[in-house]
């Protein structure tokens, strides 16, 4: 009977990265250096060796990267994924018999001990490894074995470092050979295998711009996908990477909302794009006022010519006129009187929207239909989706759908629009959403921003949660923007774009649109959700050039593509905030921002020089990429004064 007792002595614990004990996948970007850490130990003082084992999509064999001991039984190693998809990784650790023997040999020589038997043991260890060595190297090791087994020049005498029997096994080439080709008898391998989702670069770093195609018409006309092409040059010229479109599908007429959420729409009211579905189709149809599916394909090609990708909204809900209402009434929630229940978020009511019932008996049919929507648009070339309110849909569905979609199309990016409880937002990221909306909009003080960014960048959230800082949305106009004027829009732009690798703005931001529907509300007056809103983007006071400058800075400095390299610096006034991002071999970026949009602020900045790669007595220059001014500083402290009506922020490149 086969014994169930484990051989070997090595324990491997606390492996990182690992999300919820391996229940979910950690995340990385193609080309990242993925650092793997673990506690590795055994009984006794023997020398250990360990390696990170990893393999990419469709790889049959494991590759390896040696781990090194850091301190206190903590080990680290790394690998660099070169393809997108799901990677597997783990750790193998073993007792390095030859390194242990070699270490002890040195100690015995230094103690002038006689060790004829110990040398024979060393010869046996080397002999045990001959088969594991490349044939071209065996001769060298056999010579070392012969030296170890040679008789002592003087019987019973202590050995010395000049003894030929000692010099052979202490040769560094021999040590490296045996270390590289160790037999690994009794090794321990982590189980189960851990997994890592590797995405393309745009999954972490990108600038998003949201606009409604229906608002691109001329002289009050309803815009189309054809007129929307005219906006692409403007958006691309400002340095954006992704154009996000709200739903482009037919809009229902039953309970259609009028301007400013009125329940009494007029014949010209266009309805809310999220009330999806009508006589012209559902989630795979294009609103006839916007054009045809061929027009959409053309729009996608025109975006690609300008270096832009298109993100579509994926909203799992229907208008009362959606084809599913008659074809699959079992997919909806019904009231006691048999009527279908419309969506609510008390006190808000969405009479024009029917939510989906994920507890339907036809779960399989519903899930496959929903995945089919994504398949349809992927088939037309869309690989980025902004998902509306995923926290109100079944989490098991998302885990299945995302896992399946990513297995078939690893290039797909899914942005979770979930403004909800922290654990739910984290859970959505864990089950596979590529990026997540955040609480950034409601973090406006230095203390709030510092605490929140520290959580995102310096806790285990960094392993699986990739934030996207939208400065505004069609649903959210924060009080800070309502009252802070043009300086507030510049401040929040700098913070969103430089703190987070991914950020976004909704059209109208560059015009500083700031009027709420009523005091205390975060809804826009004359919200574009309910009407066509045509704009003059060249109007006086626009931020077009400012947005362009910030996006150019983002693209020019690779340190801004990351989050975990974020460091905060001390400023002795609460309304001045300073932070930097650095990487080895790259120019550091240091930002100092006045968070007070109403008044100038001054204070003393105390830099973390080590984070910037500077010595305490270095003289260095900082060049402001906004004002184009250069200052010479020395040491950790510098005086800063920022007037928000002139420029509310310094964005320095640090010149060593």
Residues with active-site annotation: 388, 417
Name the token pair of 421.
């409880």
What one-character-per-residue DSSP string does 148-178 give?
HHSPPSSTTPPP-TTSHHHHTTT-HHHHHHH
Would the CA dihedral through 602, 606, 611, 615 be positive or negative? positive
CB 543 within 8 A of CB 490: yes
26-29/11-16 β-pairing: unpaired
Give Cα 615 to chain centroid, integer Å.
32
Distance CA 577, CA 605 (A): 9
Place of tokens 């993100």: 311
Distance CA 243, CA 375 (A): 20
Alpha helices (runs of H) in 328-421, residue ranges in sequence order: 363-379, 395-408
Which of 522, 435, 404, 544 is closest to 473 using CA atoms?
Answer: 522
Buried b (16+ CB within 10 A) or exposed e, 603-636: bebebebebbbbeeeeebebbbbbeeeeeebeeb
Task: State whether residue 631 is helix, strand or coil.
Answer: strand
Residues in the chain: 656
CB 373 within 8 A of CB 397: no
Distance CA 108, CA 390 (A): 66
| Backbone φ/ψ region at 31: left (φ over 0), alpha (ψ -120 to 50), beta | left
Buried b (16+ CB within 10 A) or exposed e, 325-356: beebeebbeeeeeeebebbeeeeeebebbbbb
**Secondary structure of 365-384 in HEC code, one letter for each residue:** HHHHHHHHHHHHHHHCCCCE
CB 471 within 8 A of CB 509: yes
Start-to-end Cα distance in the chain: 69
Place of tokens 């519903």: 366
Task: State whether residue 141 is helix, strand or coil.
Answer: helix
β strands within 269-337, DSSP E: 309-314, 317-318
ω before 560 within 30° of 0 (cis)?
no
Residue 506 burial by CB count (10 A; 0-12/13-18/19+): exposed, middle or buried? buried
Cβ within 8 Å of residue 161, ≥6 positions away: 109, 167, 170
Distance CA 550, CA 556 (A): 10
């Amino acid at each position: 009977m086969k014994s169930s007792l484990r051989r070997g002595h090595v324990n491997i614990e606390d492996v990182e990265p690992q999300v919820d004990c391996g229940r979910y996948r950690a995340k990385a970007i193609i080309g990242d250096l993925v650092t793997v850490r673990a506690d590795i130990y055994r009984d006794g003082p023997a020398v250990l060796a360990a390696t990170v084992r990893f393999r990419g999509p469709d790889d049959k064999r494991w590759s390896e990267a040696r781990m090194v001991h850091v301190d206190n039984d903590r080990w680290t190693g790394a690998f660099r994924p070169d393809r997108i998809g799901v990677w597997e990784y783990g750790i193998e650790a073993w007792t390095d018999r030859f390194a242990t023997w070699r270490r002890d040999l040195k100690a015995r020589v230094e103690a002038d001990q006689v060790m004829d038997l110990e040398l024979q043991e060393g010869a046996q260890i080397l002999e045990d490894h001959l088969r594991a060595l490349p044939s071209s190297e065996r001769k060298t090791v056999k010579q070392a074995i012969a030296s170890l087994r040679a008789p002592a020049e003087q019987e019973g005498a202590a050995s010395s470092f000049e003894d030929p029997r000692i010099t052979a096994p202490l040769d560094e080439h021999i040590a490296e050979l045996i270390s590289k080709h160790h037999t690994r008898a009794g090794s321990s391998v982590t189980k189960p295998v851990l997994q890592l989702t590797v995405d393309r670069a745009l999954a972490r770093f990108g600038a998003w711009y949201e606009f409604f195609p229906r608002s691109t018409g001329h002289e009050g006309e309803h815009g189309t996908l054809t007129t929307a092409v005219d906006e692409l040059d403007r958006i691309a010229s400002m340095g954006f990477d992704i154009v996000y479109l709200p739903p482009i599908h037919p809009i229902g007429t039953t309970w259609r909302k009028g301007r400013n959420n009125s329940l009494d729409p007029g014949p010209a009211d266009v309805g809310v794009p999220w009330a999806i579905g009508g006589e012209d189709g559902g989630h795979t149809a294009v609103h006839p006022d916007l054009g045809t599916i061929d027009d959409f394909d053309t729009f996608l090609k025109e975006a690609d010519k300008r270096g832009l990708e298109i993100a579509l909204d994926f909203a799992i809900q229907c208008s009362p006129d959606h084809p599913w209402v008659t074809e699959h009434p079992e997919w909806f929630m019904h009231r006691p009187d048999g009527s279908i229940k419309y969506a609510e978020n008390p006190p808000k009511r969405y009479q024009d929207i029917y939510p989906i019932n994920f507890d339907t008996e036809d779960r399989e049919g519903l899930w496959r239909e929903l995945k089919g929507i994504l398949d349809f648009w992927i088939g037309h070339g869309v690989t980025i989706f902004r998902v509306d309110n995923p926290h109100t849909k079944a989490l098991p569905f998302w885990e299945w759908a995302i896992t399946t979609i990513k297995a078939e199309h690893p290039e797909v990016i899914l942005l979770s629009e979930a403004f909800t409880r922290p654990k739910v937002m984290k859970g959505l990221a864990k089950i596979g959403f590529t990026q997540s909306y955040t609480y950034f909009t409601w973090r406006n003080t230095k203390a709030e921003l510092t605490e929140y960014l520290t959580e995102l960048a310096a806790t285990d959230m960094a392993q699986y949660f990739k934030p996207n800082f939208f400065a505004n949305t069609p649903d959210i106009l924060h009080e800070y923007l309502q009252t802070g004027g043009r300086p507030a829009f510049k401040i929040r732009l700098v913070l969103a774009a430089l703190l987070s690798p991914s950020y976004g703005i909704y059209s109208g931001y560059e015009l500083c649109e700031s009027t709420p529907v009523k005091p205390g509300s975060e809804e826009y007056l004359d919200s574009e959700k309910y009407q066509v809103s045509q704009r003059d983007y060249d109007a006086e006071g626009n931020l077009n050039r400012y947005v362009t400058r910030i996006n150019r800075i983002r693209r020019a400095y690779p340190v801004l593509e990351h989050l975990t390299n974020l460091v905060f610096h001390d400023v002795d006034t609460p309304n001045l905030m300073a932070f930097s991002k650095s990487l080895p071999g790259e120019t550091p970026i240091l930002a100092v921002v006045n968070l007070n949009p109403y008044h100038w602020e001054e204070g003393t900045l105390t830099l973390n020089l080590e984070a910037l790669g500077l010595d305490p007595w270095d003289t260095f220059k900082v060049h402001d990429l906004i004002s184009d001014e250069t200052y010479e500083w020395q040491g950790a402290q510098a005086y800063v004064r920022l007037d928000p009506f002139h420029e509310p922020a310094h964005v320095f490149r640090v010149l060593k």
